Amino acid sequence: MKRRWRWSPLLACGALVGTLACAAESLPDWSGWWGLSVPVPEEIATSPPPMRPADLARFRQARSQDLDPDPLRYCRPPQFVGYSGGFVDSVEFLFTPGRVTLTNELGLLRRIYTDGRTLPREIDASNSGTSVGHWEGQTLVVETIGINPEATWPGSQQGAVPIGKNVKITERISLSNPNTLQMDVTLVAPDLFTAPDRRKRIYSRQRKTAATEITFCSDFDRSIDPGTGKQRFDMTPPSDLPPPPPRTP
With 50 as the cut, is the pLDDT of residue 200 above it?
Answer: yes
- 160 or 193, greater pLDDT: 193
pTM of the model: 0.79
What is the per-residue pLDDT for 229?
A: 67
Residues 58-83 have pLDDT tens digits of: 888 877 776 556 666 667 789 999 99
CA 230 to chain centre: 25
Residue extents of the structural domains in the chain: 26-206
Mean pLDDT lowest for which of 12-16, 105-109, 185-189, 208-212? 12-16
In this prediction, residues 130-151 reach a mean pLDDT of: 97
Residues 162-197 have pLDDT tens digits of: 999 999 999 999 999 999 999 999 999 999 999 999
Q: Is the dihedral of CA 189, 194, 198, 199 positive or negative?
A: negative
